[in-house]
Chains A and B, each alone.
Chain A
Amino acid sequence: MIDRYRWYEVAAVYAGIAVFLFFVLAPFIEGFLVSLKPLSQLFSTPYSFIPKNASFESYVNMWRSVPLLGLHIFNSFFISSVVTLIVIVVVVPASYAFARFSFAGSGALLGGFLAVNMFSGAVLLIPLFRLMRSLGLLNTYWAMIVPGAAFLIPSSIWLLRTYMMRIPRELDEAAWVDGASRLYTLRRVILPLAMPGIVVVAIMTFIGAYAQQFIFALTFNSKTEFMPLPIGLFAFFGNQEVQWNELMAASFVGILPVMIVIVFLQRYLVAGLTAGAVKQ
């Protein structure tokens, strides 16, 4: 193969990676260390990075400060799961249609879907608020689920369409020649083959839905019991003197499940990100 790294090149790469990862991870490291600090030490000078008399005190106390923490975490999972379900149900047939059929206006339609991706929910907040109000969905899970799913549909169509285009057309045609209906072909031939792609899309959607629960929850729901994790913490700590060590502890408990999931699923994440983006 190509030339080997000299020792100073290896050192430079590691030093660079250290700097890069420090930038990426510093808030998490600092957040975790703060969660271990007792309150008294939090506000002492000079500042110390490493906690003295580290304790898990705030992991105990936070349950008193944010009694609904468990519910907020559940809400986040619940909202993301339903969003994922809706997205998959809507996106699988649409992706197949875009991957296999071209008719007058299908290109424009696909472009239209992708353009939806570019408009942020914040821009549509007023009419969405009116819509949710008139549908009677304000202060329910649906006020966060319905708009949340809408903004994840376009990118999922993009991803799954790319995946389905790689499945050879001959398979569809062979099934039709054998007399299978189009729907039967989709269900029995394409769906099983597309399963790995669907799994990637589902994971990406779930993570996206979990990561982005803020603005719709902020605007369309004021009931504490329906709040997803980010808003639950924001609403609670925004209202009073912030107990930083408890906020950090609660944040860590909240993100731990996703972190674990990521470690196991990182392959799919990288695959999904690159498949969706590199080739059009």
Chain B
Amino acid sequence: MTSNRSAVIFALALLAPALIYITIIVAYPLLDTIILSFTNAALRPTYDFVGWANYQRIFGAGDFTEVIIRTLVWTAFSVSIKMIIGMFGAVLLNAAVPGQTLFRVLTMPPWIVPMAIGIFMWSWMYNGQFGMISGLLQNFGISDGPVAWLAYGHTAFWATIVTDVWIGVPMVTIYFLAAMQSISKDLYEAAWTDGAGRFYRWRRITLPLMLPAIITMSLLSLIATFNSFDIIYILTRGGPSGATTTMIIDTYNTAMGSRKYGEGAARAVVICIFVSIFCLVYFRAVRRLSQGEAK
């Protein structure tokens, strides 16, 4: 039923709306970004092709390389912390204690509530003079003065990571929980009769069997975190003095802030190259993992 001609035409007809939509709204803009990156487009209506000039400029100055490194470090920290806390949460929510369902529902708000609104709340918590974190630290005598988390480079860097982790954790937790529950109970029973303790069972059964889920989630999370915009934009707009400027923020500021479309597009192209590499790794991993499963 698969290869006859009318079936293919029917399938293509079904795909047409999605195909046309994505072509106009995603594929064409992607192409346009690449073309724009070789021009000196700005706010004025006309522009010329300038060859590799934009790329030479952004890589010549050196601060773009710094932005790339910062983005990778920021992403690496955020993703690893998400995985650890997500695993911690999944183990806890998997424990058969009363209240389980309620606890699972309570995990979801950061993921579901409009992102920007969660971030407003964090920006109050980080407030130096009156925010909760600084306030509690002073009340408990851990810090002697107010700490304006978003005002200094290194604290702002970590503050944006913490908020990003907070937004990402529910999804990771629920996903890990689902993967954990799909592991056959017999394995645990067998290990238990052999006298294996709880931690031993987690390390020898849960963890290895969840490895595909952990790899998949890490890669998905890597891509999402790498693209993270709202958190940094609302909390710091990339400041103070560039300490939280990741590639996405940098591109936004160049393109929409300074209206340097050509240069912004060149930066966007570099982001696309990174994302494509991540995608390739992701698809490879998924194929590998599903082959492993079929055996």
Contacts and interface: CB of A to CB of B under 8 A. Distances in A.
Contact of B170 (A24, A42, A157): A24
B159 interface: no
B115 interface: yes
Contacts of A254: 114, 117
A13 B169 contact: no
Interface in A22-46: 23-28, 30-31, 34, 42-43, 45-46
Interface string A90-117: 1101101110111100100101011110
A19 to B, nearest CB: 9
Contacts of A251: 117, 120-121
A207 B97 CA distance: 29
A71 interface: no
B136 to A, nearest CB: 7
Of B7, B21, B115, B278, the most chain A CB neighbours within 10 A belong to B21
A161 to B, nearest CB: 11
Contact of A266 (B96, B108, B124, B234): B108
Contact of B136 (A49, A146, A157, A244): A49
Interface in B139-167: 139, 166
B268 interface: yes
Interface string B119-133: 011101101011010
Contact of B124 (A2, A45, A248): A248
Interface size class of A (residues with CB under 8 A): 35 or more
B175 A211 contact: no
A279 B256 CA distance: 39
Contacts of A199: none
Contacts of B122: 27
Interface string A160-197: 00000000000001000000001100100000000000
A55 interface: no
Interface of A: 1-3, 5, 9-10, 13-14, 16-17, 20-21, 23-28, 30-31, 34, 42-43, 45-49, 76, 89-91, 93-94, 96-98, 100-103, 106, 109, 111, 113-116, 118-120, 122-131, 146-147, 149-151, 153-154, 157, 173, 182-183, 186, 207, 210-215, 218-219, 229-231, 233-234, 237, 244, 247-248, 251, 254-255, 258-259, 262-263, 266, 269-270, 273-274, 277-278, 280
A89 B248 contact: no
24 contacts: A2-B189, A13-B97, A14-B97, A27-B125, A93-B13, A94-B17, A94-B18, A123-B275, A127-B33, A130-B32, A131-B24, A131-B25, A182-B10, A210-B114, A212-B114, A219-B256, A230-B115, A233-B116, A244-B127, A244-B130, A248-B124, A251-B117, A262-B108, A278-B213
B268 to A, nearest CB: 5
A20 B26 contact: no
Contacts, number: 296
B14 interface: yes
A214 B231 CA distance: 10
Given A20-B85, A20-B92, A127-B36, 11 more contacts: A24-B106, A27-B110, A91-B18, A94-B19, A126-B255, A183-B10, A186-B14, A214-B229, A251-B121, A262-B108, A277-B175
Contacts of B127: 244
